[in-house]
Amino acid sequence: MKRHLARNAKAGVPPIRPLLACAAWSFVLLYGCAGRPTGVLEPVAANPSAAQVEMLVTTTRSRAEKPGEMFSGERALSPTFAEMTVSIPPDTVRKAGEVAWPSKLPPNPETDFATLKAVEVDRGAAEKWLNTHVRKSPDGSVFVFIHGFNNHFEDAVFRFAQIIHDSGARSVPVLATWPSRGSLLAYGYDRESTNYTRNAVERLFQYLARDPEVKEVSILAHSMGNWLALESLRQMAIRNDGLPAKFRNVMLAAPDVDVDVF
């Protein structure tokens, strides 16, 4: 694992497509932890003028009571999977790097980020979704995003959709989201939630490593999500006596990790 991380750090920016690298650094500067509207994940009708980003979600969050929130900040007993499609308004009404949060519900796809699909699926359906999309991708690559501290579920979904769209990434998007309560006062709870999620994320990484259709895996982690990413990779490296060669890019954005521990 040290070899992979050191190689990327030495270059200054990740050795990936320039657009994706630029988007990652824009994400570091623009990614906020402020409160967001709730209930925005209730699906609406698509608008032909808006772009769409499909993603697979794996989460250790518990289900939310409100349908438009889908998952809460509490911990579930086992991982859950979901298929999401996010609508992104035209570039003429939004600056690159920004999430256009709706000011009222339902959102307007002409001006706002909106949800077109939010369906919980079982593990078999999730694997089928991933295999189908990887086979359709131009290079068989997968892009895993792990969000940071103080994030609601919808924060992670919309931000990841923004990163994928604005970077022009061709990789298959997979969001690994852990139980954050979305509060500045919940740092301790959030930190332990990353530890709680290590096994689930490692299982995701092991599955990607075994899948012969997956040719390359890139990981972008932000803030406290870096601890989760590194711990999961560490577990995988110990179990497998090293990391698979296909895990080529590990991007640590604003890492909430002690440098000596790293």
Per-residue model confidence as pLDDT tens digits over 41-72: 999 999 999 999 999 999 999 999 998 999 99
In a domain, 177, yes or no: no
In a domain, 261, yes or no: no
pLDDT in tens, 77-108: 999 999 999 999 998 999 999 999 999 999 99
Cβ neighbours for 171, distance < 8 A, ≥ 6 positions apart? 137, 139, 141, 142, 143, 216, 218
- Pick from 148, 101, 137, 122: nearest CA to 256: 148
Count structural domains, the chain.
Answer: 1
Q: What is the pTM of this model?
A: 0.86
In a domain, 180, yes or no: no
Arithmetic mean of pLDDT, 112-116: 97
What domain range is 208 assigned to?
2-52+61-172+185-253
Cβ neighbours for 102, distance < 8 A, ≥ 6 positions apart? 37, 40, 108, 112, 113, 114
pLDDT of res. 260? 86
pLDDT of res. 5? 45
Given the structure tokens 């769409």, which residue do they identify? 52
Instruction: Taking the CA atoms of 144, 146, 151 and 152 in sequence, report the sign of the dihedral they define.
Output: positive
Look at residue 199 and tell me whether its pLDDT is greater than 50.
Answer: yes
Q: Is residue 84 a contact partner of residue 174, using CB atoms and an 8 Å limit?
A: no
Give the Cβ contact number of residue 29 at 10 Å: 10
pLDDT in tens, 136-181: 999 999 999 999 999 999 999 999 999 999 999 999 999 999 999 9
And the tokens for 220? Answer: 């972008």
In a domain, 179, yes or no: no
Look at residue 7 and tell me whether its pLDDT is greater than 50.
Answer: no
pLDDT of res. 36? 59
